[in-house]
Structure 1
Amino acid sequence: MTHVMACIDNSQSSLAVCDYAAWASQQLNAPLTLLHVLDKEKYPASADLSGNIGLGSREHLLEELATLDAQRAKLALEQGQHMLEKARERTVISGAIAPDMKQRHGHLVESLSDLQDDIRLLVIGRVGEDSKHNAHSLGSQIEAVVRTIHRPILITTSQFKKTEKVMLAFDGSPTANKTVQMLAASPLCEGLTIHIVMVGADSQDNQSELENARSALASSGLMVQAEIRPGEVETVLHAYQAEHAIDLLVMGAYGHSRIRQFLVGSTTTTMLRTATIPVLLLR
């Protein structure tokens, strides 16, 4: 579990994925791996067309179709290799040291699952090459990746912006406290300002939980601000982000609290669609 792994494809997000992955690799002092997965449903490794044409078909037609499929798959592999080369050039310019490249043939989620033991941080674009490009589009595989890969996941927007201010969505739960501990122990946010935002009543219990979180992060040398705000979680977080020019949202993934309900089922899609900044999901 040592590498920053970045998922590269032909989407608008890939340039930003490269930039954020290079940044994370430097912050974590971790090697960077660039990954391209060729979808085996679109480009099967080998094709059996014997049942696809019907009675009376000539054998040479089947052979020609199989040859065309093989050519398409070969060209797709070459295009993927070219994308990886360009991605490596970009990450090196952005400060990454000797990034590695991997190309696999299969499904993205399965490939990531196989590589999971080597992943310290996964960086993936919010929108993939097969997704619709609009303000609230979300890649079709994002939720599956989030549910399957039990590693920190940085979901990027389509444009890179230097990260200076981080907002941690906090609710005082065990998962949220674990997220605080992970941030305190990680060099990812060194030199950045952390805003801890708790959505709820300004009660003594909440104040105590928030102060414990603030103290844990501050004791690790991080610059920390903490605030409790009432209201609906999504509305409050987006308003705070705009008000303080936040560059990165950090949330604990899964659980049953008000905040982490956003990461289960349709609310996961809602939160990621409405976020205008990268989202770092921690476990």
Structure 2
Amino acid sequence: MQRSSSAVTEKNRRKPAMKSILLCLDGSVYARSVCEHAAWFASRLEASVDLLHVVDIRERAPAGRQDLSGSIGIETLDHLMSEMVDQDHARSRTAQLIGRHLLDEGRSILKEAGVANTTASLRNGAVVDAVQDLSAKADLIVMGKRGEGVDFASGHLGSNLERVVRAVDRPCLVAARAFKPIERVLIAYDEGKSARRAVSFLANSPGFKDLDIHLVLASDRPGDSEVTKALAWAEGELSSAGLKAACRIVQGEPEAVITGTVASDGIDLLVMGAYGHSRIRNLIIGSTTTGMIRDCRIPVLLFR
């Protein structure tokens, strides 16, 4: 007996939409790793991957028509300004070609990893603006820890990383320099809304059920009823989703506790809330988020 069109429509309505990963690709040493991390998450989330490369060539301000005749003739000045414009156009064309090449290479890496559903976007302008435009339909954003203009030995993070994480309301994966298959996951839980989002993300993602999951709540008042209540909620949320997680409270400062646990337990992925305080407060006392991303040599999944 043929099913009615209404029944078919209802079935299609119930079918969840494919998840989408926005992959931010540049020419840094993290490019391949970013693609490989995105491929791993795409397979776990059954997601498509949208690759994004942004060409951000800052236009030089014109020198102005002030009187430079004492040092250089006006005709020579016009010629040099015209040459400068030509050079800028050439740089722009070269940057576009490099961008297309990076996107093609990225799609090839994803295809080799088994991700068939990909798209590519080449944008001009600021990275943060482009990511904000495309993040509305993304379930996850993947970026490298440092951009192509940052010296790896300096220990500095990429200039766009914090801006993007603060600007969007999507989970952001900060890829490590080299990809390693993820088996052990640590959730740095702190009772905040962003940490709850992190727990719910894993609980609602069936692809994480076979992973070894640990949850640590670092606190200077480990016996407090509110702390134990918060831990019980997280443990219950994961357990009800079929995830077996080792959850515990550890006394101490969060940054020291988490970095120590990552090292001692052989963690492959750190999951945590991001930038819970204002920029001004972070300038005064520093940022746990920035410190964790900088110091950990594993990927970090951030939630706002």
Normalized against structure 2, the TM-score is what?
A: 0.83
- Corresponding residue for residue 64 of structure 2: 51
Q: 1:71 aligns with which of 86, 90, 93?
A: 90
**TM alignment of 1:220-239, pairs within 5 A:** 220-239=241-260
1:189-220 deviation digits (Å, cap 9, x = unpaired) = 23212101011233152333213211210211
- Alignment partners' CA distance in 1, 2:88 and 2:192: 52
Contact 1:163 1:248 in 2 (8 A): yes
- Corresponding residue for residue 5 of structure 1: 22
- Corresponding residue for residue 270 of structure 1: 291
Letter in 2 for 1:153: C
Contact 1:27 1:190 in 2 (8 A): no
SS in 2 for 1:25: helix
- Corresponding residue for residue 112 of structure 1: 131
Contact 1:3 1:31 in 2 (8 A): yes
1:208-253 deviation digits (Å, cap 9, x = unpaired) = 3213211210211112111111111111111111111101111123
- Alignment partners' CA distance in 2, 1:117 and 1:203: 41
- Corresponding residue for residue 32 of structure 1: 49
- Alignment partners' CA distance in 2, 1:20 and 1:113: 21
- Alignment partners' CA distance in 1, 2:302 and 2:39: 18
Q: 1:158 aligns with which of 148, 173, 177?
A: 177
1:51-101 deviation digits (Å, cap 9, x = unpaired) = 289553323333222122111110111011111111111111112113111
Cα gap change, 1:66 to 1:223, in 2 (>3 Å): same
Cα gap change, 1:135 to 1:199, in 2 (>3 Å): farther
Unmatched 5+ residue regions in structure 2? 1-17
SS in 2 for 1:155: strand
- Alignment partners' CA distance in 2, 1:255 and 1:96: 34
- Corresponding residue for residue 80 of structure 1: 99
- Alignment partners' CA distance in 1, 2:40 and 2:128: 24
- Corresponding residue for residue 139 of structure 1: 158
SS in 2 for 1:31: strand
Letter in 2 for 1:244: D
Contact 2:21 2:49 in 1 (8 A): yes
1:122 aligns with 2:141: yes
- Corresponding residue for residue 303 of structure 2: 282
SS in 1 for 2:136: helix
Contact 1:167 1:197 in 2 (8 A): yes
Q: 1:170 aligns with which of 185, 189, 201?
A: 189
C-alpha displacement of 1:48: 6.7
SS in 2 for 1:6: strand
1:98-135 deviation digits (Å, cap 9, x = unpaired) = 31111001000011111121221000000110111127
C-alpha displacement of 1:176: 2.7
C-alpha displacement of 1:188: 5.2
Q: 2:262 aligns with which of 228, 232, 241?
A: 241
Cα gap change, 1:174 to 1:152, in 2 (>3 Å): closer
Normalized against structure 1, the TM-score is what?
A: 0.89
- Over aligned residues, Cα RMSD in angstroms? 2.4
SS in 1 for 2:50: strand
Letter in 2 for 1:100: T
SS in 1 for 2:38: helix
C-alpha displacement of 1:140: 1.4
Letter in 2 for 1:65: M
Q: How many residues align?
A: 275
Cα gap change, 1:216 to 1:48, in 2 (>3 Å): closer
Contact 2:135 2:141 in 1 (8 A): no
1:143-190 deviation digits (Å, cap 9, x = unpaired) = 111111111000111110111111001123444333322321124523
Letter in 2 for 1:203: G
Cα gap change, 1:84 to 1:140, in 2 (>3 Å): same
Unmatched 5+ residue regions in structure 1? none
Cα gap change, 1:116 to 1:243, in 2 (>3 Å): same
SS in 2 for 1:134: helix
SS in 2 for 1:218: helix
